[in-house]
Amino acid sequence: MPDPRRAGARTAAVIEAIRQRLATRALAPGQRLPSIRAFAATMDVSPATVVEAYDRLAAEGVIRARRGSGFYVADMALPPLALVAGEPRRPRAVDPFWVSRQSLDADEGTLMPGCGWLPADWMPQDALRRAVRAVARSSGPALTDYSTARGSGALRRVLQGRLAGLGIDAFSEQIVLTSSGTQAIDLMCRMLLRPGDTVLVDDPCYFNFLALLRAHQARIVSVPMTPSGPDIAQFETVLAAERPRLYITNSGLHNPTGATLSLQAAHRLLNAAAAHDMLIIEDDIYGDFEPEPSPRLAALDGLQRVILIGSFSKTLSASVRCGYIAARPDWIEPLIDLQIATGFGGPGQFAAETLAQVLTGGSYRKHIEELRARLSRARPRVAARLQRLGVTPWLMPRGGFHLWCTLPEGCRAIDVAQAALADNVVLAPGDVFSAAQSAAMMMRFNVAHCEDISVIAALERAIN
């Protein structure tokens, strides 16, 4: 009897061979694919294997069958993102876009315990309203003109002060504003990576790192997370064996686990990075949720091989969008050129000035203190409710709004998430966050969205 695993590998090889020909355009849109018999001979496999491969490509819309005349490349077929890296497609429920697409386009009334941001009424709407009015009143050009190449000086000076508070000395000229936090990471990846470069992430990590790295055709390797940072012994082993060019992480409050990098782990991690000449992107997007600041890699390293990025989308506004990059002074000029080439600059001046206005007003600190206090009350309450369903936090985080949880014995997160979706509830199944696909029984919960008692009821239905 044929070994099904080997048959699967042969089908995959045929699919890969066709994708190669499409990527290099050896097979052009509209062109007929080799006949099944001929291609079976070329690939030294059975015709049934080629049929299987062609059927799968047809199901993906990459090629089309024409009755009685074989298979053709779909008209101007684009390589969808998932195919660019030559990776097999994952089912949508563990695709890194699952949570973001469901959350962004959720209907009114959808419950979103899996979503990665706070409800609108937790955000400082009045302070934003005041800031918007003040900027509109104060200046015509702020409403109409392009920003300077680095972005608003006022906001960069605010950031300089905030970084200094974390022990990171940066001139405001070392800070570049970007359209969003994600775009900040994307710009750095465009500067630092070439297709095929190896990039290290935590397991689990923020799902969009995986989507972004796939768009860069990076080879992704991962190290398991512990409550005090990545497992350092494995970290050192992976660096020696895989020589990643770059490591992307959140240090202060890790997404999705809520872990905090310890000082000792930060020190060893930086030494390993130096020994293997690896760069680090430290995404500080959850920094303001910490009860007190934990060590930043960028502070220990002095912004040499660490690039700090962040945004205000989690604490202030995801609508008035702006991210930032703090990096080595000699990287700033090429970074600015790249941002002009690919976006003609970063955020709008109006957005940056509005954020500077809120951050320099007295109300921001008060807002953050209230957010922290409210989340500190919500975390244990939601954890207790989850535990009654057999859903157990992996860690009780120091801050933030995520709880990374183990589901009850025998529960698969994908199945629960798909059942919940039918019930109009967006969950965040663990493997979405896992490059190693090691989190089939895990799930991330947003405690702010779980205060609604109907979320727990819906989760109970989905589990059972």
Residue list 72-131, contact with a copy of itself (CB under 8 A): 76, 78, 80-82, 96-97, 100-101, 103-105, 117, 120-121, 123, 125, 128-129
Instruction: Please state the closest distance from residue 216 (CB atom) to a copy of itself, in A.
Output: 9
When asked if residue 136 is in the footprint of a copy of itself (CB under 8 A), the reply is: yes
Q: How many CB atoms sit inside 10 A of residue 428's CB?
A: 27
CA angle 440, 441, 443 (to 5 degrees): 95
When asked if residue 396 is in the footprint of a copy of itself (CB under 8 A), the reply is: no
Instruction: Please state the closest distance from residue 233 (CB atom) to a copy of itself, in A.
Output: 25
Pair type for strands 246-249 and 279-283: parallel
CB-nearer residue toward a copy of itself: 351 or 407: 351
Instruction: Please state the closest distance from residue 316 (CB atom) to a copy of itself, in A.
Output: 8
When binding is defined by CB under 8 A, the residue of 22, 27, 320, 382 that contacts a copy of itself is 320
Binding letters toward a copy of itself, positions 1-40, x by CB under 8 A: ----------------------x----xxx----------
When binding is defined by CB under 8 A, the residue of 318, 368, 421, 436 that contacts a copy of itself is 318
CA 224 to chain centre: 17
Q: How many CB atoms sit inside 10 A of residue 198's CB?
A: 16
- DSSP for 6-45, please give it: HHHHHHHHHHHHHHHHHHTTSS-TTPBPPPHHHHHHHHTS
Quote the CA–CA distance of 455 and 450 in Å, as a whole number.
6
Nearest by Cα to 432 from 235, 203, 189: 203
Pair type for strands 428-429 and 229-230: unpaired
Quote the CA–CA distance of 42 and 44 in Å, as a whole number.
6
Instruction: Please state the closest distance from residue 370 (CB atom) to a copy of itself, in A.
Output: 15
Instruction: Please state the closest distance from residue 126 (CB atom) to a copy of itself, in A.
Output: 9
- Residues 261-280 touching a copy of itself, rule: CB under 8 A, are 277, 279
Q: What sign does the CA torsion over 414, 415, 421, 426 have?
A: negative
Instruction: Please state the closest distance from residue 183 (CB atom) to a copy of itself, in A.
Output: 4
Quote the CA–CA distance of 207 and 86 in Å, as a whole number.
19
CB-nearer residue toward a copy of itself: 64 or 412: 64
Beta carbons of 226 and 235 less than 8 angstroms apart? no
Beta carbons of 192 and 288 less than 8 angstroms apart? no
When asked if residue 141 is in the footprint of a copy of itself (CB under 8 A), the reply is: yes
When binding is defined by CB under 8 A, the residue of 54, 289, 350, 445 that contacts a copy of itself is 350
CB-nearer residue toward a copy of itself: 181 or 430: 181
Q: Is 162 exposed, middle or buried (0-12, 13-18, 19+ CB in 10 A)?
A: middle
Instruction: Please state the closest distance from residue 189 (CB atom) to a copy of itself, in A.
Output: 9
- Residues 201-230 touching a copy of itself, rule: CB under 8 A, are 208, 211-212, 214-215
- Residues 158-197 touching a copy of itself, rule: CB under 8 A, are 179-183, 186, 190-192, 194-195
When binding is defined by CB under 8 A, the residue of 12, 13, 48, 149 that contacts a copy of itself is 149
Q: Is 226 exposed, middle or buried (0-12, 13-18, 19+ CB in 10 A)?
A: middle
- Residues 360-379 touching a copy of itself, rule: CB under 8 A, are none
CB-nearer residue toward a copy of itself: 286 or 350: 350
Cβ neighbours of residue 458 closer than 8 Å, sequence gap 6 or more:
111, 420, 423, 425
> Segment near a copy of itself (CB under 8 A), from 6-14, 44-52, 291-299, 329-337?
329-337
Please give the size of the binding site for a copy of itself, defined by CB under 8 A. 82
Strands (E), 231-327: 246-249, 279-283, 306-311, 323-326
What are the C-alpha distances in Å from 416 to residues 91, 93, 387, 389, 406? 15, 10, 16, 13, 12
When asked if residue 143 is in the footprint of a copy of itself (CB under 8 A), the reply is: yes
Binding letters toward a copy of itself, positions 285-314, x by CB under 8 A: --------------------x-------x-
Beta carbons of 90 and 220 less than 8 angstroms apart? no
When asked if residue 446 is in the footprint of a copy of itself (CB under 8 A), the reply is: no
Instruction: Please state the closest distance from residue 309 (CB atom) to a copy of itself, in A.
Output: 13
Buried b (16+ CB within 10 A) or exposed e, 56-95: bbeeeebbeeeeeeebbbbeebeeeebbbbeeeeeeebbb
When binding is defined by CB under 8 A, the residue of 148, 198, 363, 438 that contacts a copy of itself is 148
CB-nearer residue toward a copy of itself: 211 or 440: 211
Quote the CA–CA distance of 20 and 23 in Å, as a whole number.
5
- Residues 42-61 touching a copy of itself, rule: CB under 8 A, are 61
